[in-house]
Amino acid sequence: MTAGPLAGLRILEVGHILAGPFATMLLADLGAEVTKVEPPGGDLSRQVGDAYFASINRGKRSVCLDLTSAAGQRRLGELAAEAHALLVNLKPSVIRRLGLTYDSLRRHNERLVCVAVTGYGLDGGDDPAFDYVIQAATGVAALTGDPEGPPTLPGYSSADNSAALTAALGLLAQIVSGRGGQVEVALRDVMLAQLNYRAAAYLNDGVEPSRLPHGAHSYYVPAQLFPTAQGYLALFITHDGFWKTFAAEAGIEGFATMAERAARRDAVLDAVTRVLSGDTAAGWEARLRPLGVPAAAVRTLPEALAATPEMVVRAGGFRLVGSPVKVAGHQPEYGPPPPLGSLVVDGD
């Protein structure tokens, strides 16, 4: 096995809870050396629970610094001088007050990449920017749920996780450039960007997005959840070839083109709903997948984990979901989450 593709990359993290720590953990899985700079009380996620903390902090080191003190700032500068990047997710005023920007740290290292993950940008103010607030503010909640019901939220932290992935991308892009500098990732901007085709339809054609029953896609028909004889089936027919294969298996005639299916949405959905009631979700999945038709029974998380045992890894004493990035010849070590202040900085 070879070293990870990011071996030799030294990253500092001043983060808490989810977005920042998840971003740097993904980089650690790929071989980067991540040092978690924590305040004397530790990252707030330590208070949530050991498994929670481990799920976004495996494989890191921890150094405990009071960045409000002269000694803490001196140690931060020493760490920054030897690092390739610093990633921080705090309020903009706190980021500036603690000197966690490129302008503050460049005197220690001109090539340092500083990534700030905030709610609305470094100049966007300190308004609270928790995941659910961002989903509400950007239209995500309004697009989620059945049209006759209230707006709702996904069952996981989609804004924080998406911002983490974006921050990791921005950090690596600036490192590849060979220049130091400031990178900003705002949770609001990330979620608006993820509404790409929905936003484009409104901005260019005036099509205001709306919720459709069973999470139906705005363009493709049929592409949504369907009730079956037992359980729900996700069916995602995006082009005429998929429809032809599905219709032959299901015994449905007509609706041969994408345009016709879109124009006759209700008729298509009625026909599909009737035929899917004749078998279970698991049965339809078993029939359709070998034919190449995009379909899956709706599973619970325990069922999904049981179906993908290769994604469950051990990190110290914890069982966690492994890295989604597979690099040929590299097997992540998945080290345990660090005890608070486990790394001793010279002079401590």
Are 288 and 316 within one domain?
A: no
In terms of DSSP bridges, do strands 232-236 and 295-297 run parallel, antiparallel, or are they unpaired? antiparallel
Q: Is 160 annotated as catalytic?
A: yes
Are 236 and 117 within one domain?
A: no
pLDDT of residue 1: 64
pLDDT of residue 347: 47
Look up the CATH number of the domain holding residue 29: 3.40.50.10540
Flag whether 151 is in a domain: yes
Question: From the first residue on, what is the mean pLDDT of each consecutive set of 10 residues in the chain (348 residues)?
Answer: 91 95 98 97 95 97 97 98 98 98 98 98 95 96 94 94 98 98 98 96 95 93 98 97 98 97 97 98 98 98 97 97 95 94 63
Flag whether 140 is in a domain: yes
Flag whether 237 is in a domain: yes
Residue 249 to residues 239, 245, 269, Cα–Cα distance (Å): 16, 6, 16
Range of the domain at 266: 214-227+232-297
Are 141 and 244 within one domain?
A: no
Q: Could you tell me if residue 217 is left (phi over 0), alpha (psi between -120 and 50 degrees) or otherwise beta?
A: beta
Flag whether 221 is in a domain: yes
Flag whether 339 is in a domain: no
Are 179 and 41 within one domain?
A: yes
Are 158 and 115 within one domain?
A: yes
Flag whether 61 is in a domain: yes
- Cβ neighbors of 308 (< 8 A, separation 6 or more) are none
Only one residue has tokens 């990035």, namely: 325
Cis check for the bond before 309: say yes or no (omega within 30 of 0): no
On the 0-12 / 13-18 / 19+ scale of CB atoms within 10 A, 42 is middle
Q: What is d(CA 180, CA 197) in angstroms, rounded to the nearest whole number? A: 33
Asked if 252 and 262 touch (Cβ cutoff 8 Å), the reply is: no
Are 158 and 27 within one domain?
A: yes
pLDDT of residue 345: 54
Considering 103, 160, 266, 279, which one is annotated as catalytic? Answer: 160
Q: What is d(CA 166, CA 254) in angstroms, rounded to the nearest whole number? A: 43
Report the number of distinct structural domains present in the chain. Answer: 2
